[in-house]
Amino acid sequence: MKNKTAIGKTKSRRGGRRRCLCFLMLVFIAGVVAGSRPESGAGGPPVRLGVCDWTLGKGGDTGALELASRLGLEGVQVSLNIKGESLVLVQPALQAAYLEAARKHSIEIASFAIGEMNNLPLKSDPRAERWLKQSIGISKAMGVKIVLVPFFGKGDLKNDPRGVETVIEILRRVAPKAEAAGVILALESWLSAEDCLAIIKRIGSPAVKVYYDVGNSRKEGYDVSEEIRFLGDRIAEIHAKDYQDLYGKGSMDFKAVARAMGDIGYEGWLVIEGSELPLGIEESLRHDAEFLRTLFPAE
């Protein structure tokens, strides 16, 4: 018959083995759970998902906010449409209508965009500088921090050094007003990240950054992930886009985009700009938003 000391030692060894086995089991379970998480989500930063009002077919229409909310999105990029010589949203009554719609539908205005500058370019139409200044005042009044300034169509800056020089001169004049208002002028174009950064550096203002569109950059043959890493905090906001199909089924490697955005610690909006909506607007956007949420957790 074992003495009490021997029995105590035996129980201690058995208890230690049980604790060890429990610990190993917990490690195993944790590994299984971690392994079951979508690998694609690794590295994607938390973002708020928005959509362009023109993608919804409601450019410059407060109804875009209601539809975006119904689709489960968190924000809308709103068009600053032109009427005559002015931007429509300079009207305080319309500003109030947008803010009321945002409150009613629990949705935000992610940013503004002056799409008409593609037809009446900043580089060649004197009215465009006036609209840009007005957009800053509207943004300040409505608490919106970013204005997309596009350079497509007639406003394209590729292979146009004179146009680039004119744009730099104008933005040098306008940037101090944006700085004072706490507004970012985000330039979107067909230019490479390197060319964009060169322009921004010459303007020399923290109020001028890049609006990065992953679909446009891929279409131009740029390395999207490396451009995102190259630009870093010079990116004000990002458009999600795939020119070929629904997200996850087309040509855009959104997993690589998510990793690159995670690498730079991106904290802004990810705004869906649909170019392919094969299931119709609402169903296609639901699919795209659900796909993006497998890569980017909600804030």
> Which tens digits make up the pLDDT trace of 130-159?
999 999 999 999 999 999 999 999 999 999
In this model, does residue 299 exceed pLDDT 90?
Answer: no
CA 257 vs. chain centroid, Å, equals 11
pLDDT in tens, 114-124: 999 999 999 99
The domain limits of the chain are 1-37, 42-293
43: pLDDT confidence band, cut at 50, 70 and 90?
low
**Interval 26-54 mean pLDDT:** 62
Summarised one tens digit per residue, pLDDT across range 238-268 is 999 999 999 999 999 999 999 999 999 999 9
What is the separation of C-alpha 89 from the centre of its chain, rounded to a whole number of angstroms? 23
Q: What is the pLDDT of residues 163-174, one digit of tens each?
A: 999 999 999 999
pLDDT higher than 70, residue 35: no
pLDDT tens profile 55-74: 999 999 999 999 999 999 99
Superfamily of the domain at 42-293 = Divalent-metal-dependent TIM barrel enzymes (3.20.20.150)
Q: Please answer whether residues 288 and 51 qualify as being in contact, where contact means their C-beta atoms are separated by less than 8 angstroms.
A: no
270 has which bridge partners?
49, 238
* pLDDT tens track for 165-211: 999 999 999 999 999 999 999 999 999 999 999 999 999 999 999 99
Q: Which two tokens stand for residue 128?
A: 């465009």
pLDDT (0 to 100) of residue 253? 97
Look at residue 11 and tell me whether its pLDDT is greater than 70.
no
pLDDT at 226 over 60: yes
Residues 117/122/125/128 CA torsion (nearest 10 deg): 70
What does pLDDT average to over the chain?
Answer: 89
Residue 98 has pLDDT above 90, yes or no: yes
pLDDT of residue 275: 80
